[in-house]
Amino acid sequence: MQPGSIMPVIHSAQQPLQPRSVGADKSLPMAIFTHFFTEAATTIFDSAHSGIFFTILHDPLHIYPEEYLQSTSEKNGAEDVMNYDNLLVRSLAGFQDTNRKVNDWDLEVAKEMLKRKFFLGSCDHPSETLRRLGYFHGQRDTRSLDNDPRNEVCNQTRQSWEQECDHMKKTWEAKMKRMDPQIILRIKEKHQYDVLLFEYASSYFDMQSALFS
C-alpha cells in the first residue's frame, strides 16, 4: 500500500461534488480519489484538476521501515539503502523530484496544502473515516439505508475495511519490533518532516470533524 493511499475498496475515479455541503469553496467542483498519493499530489498543481482530495496518511515510522526491510532483504545486507527522504512533504510542496533538502518552510507549505486540498481519513479511526466518506458522497443520514439492500454491502465493506486497518497496524507493529532501535531512530531523524506532517495531519483529522456533522 502506497504512502498516503486510501482504502483498497475505493477505485481511482472522479466524482461530482457539492462543495457547499462540506464547507468547501465552490470553485473546487471535483473530488479526486486515487490509490497513489504522489499521483494525487502531482494533480494538485494541475489547473485541470482543481479538486478536493480524500486520502489517508499513514504513520511514516510504519511506511519507511517497510521500505527499508524490503530493500535490505533484496540486497541481503544491513546497509541503509533508502534513497529519498520526507516523501510526503516533498510531494505536497511540489518538489519530489528536486535534489535539495527539505526545510521548515516546505513543511508549512505541505500543511497548507493539506488544509486547502484534502479531507483526511485515518486508519486509527476506520468507522469514522467511512462515515466521513459517505458524507463526502452525499449520504447524510445512514438511517435511510436501514431497509436498503445496499446496507448489507455497506456493512460488509465496513467490516472489511476495519479488518484491513487492524491487520495493517498489527503487521507494522510486528515489523517495528524486529528492527534495531537505532535504525528506527535513524529513520525518524532522516524523515523528521514527514513525522511532523503526520502529527499535524492527525490533529487536523480531529479538527475536520466539524465539516461532517
Q: Is residue 77 part of a domain?
A: yes
Q: Is residue 178 part of a domain?
A: yes
Q: Is residue 5 part of a domain?
A: no
pTM assigned to the model: 0.68
Q: What is the pLDDT of residues 68-123, one digit of tens each?
A: 665 555 554 444 434 578 888 888 888 877 788 899 999 999 998 888 878 888 88
Q: Is residue 96 part of a domain?
A: no
Helices (H) and strands (E) in the chain, counts: 8, 4
Q: What is the pLDDT of residues 33-64, one digit of tens each?
A: 444 555 555 555 555 555 567 777 778 887 77
What's the CA gap between 185 and 11, in Å, rounded?
A: 35
Q: Is residue 196 part of a domain?
A: yes
What's the CA gap between 169 and 69, in Å, rounded?
A: 16
What's the CA gap between 53 and 109, in Å, rounded?
A: 16
Across the chain, mean pLDDT equals: 69
3-state secondary structure 40-75: HHHHHCCHHHCCEEEEECCCHHHHHHHHHHHHHHHH
Q: Which of 41, 33, 28, 27 is nearest to 14 (CA)?
A: 33
Q: Is residue 7 part of a domain?
A: no
Q: Is residue 83 part of a domain?
A: yes
Domain of residue 116: give its range. 13-91+101-212
Q: Is residue 35 part of a domain?
A: yes
**What is the pLDDT, as a whole number, of residue 197?**
93
**How many domains is the chain partitioned into structurally?**
1
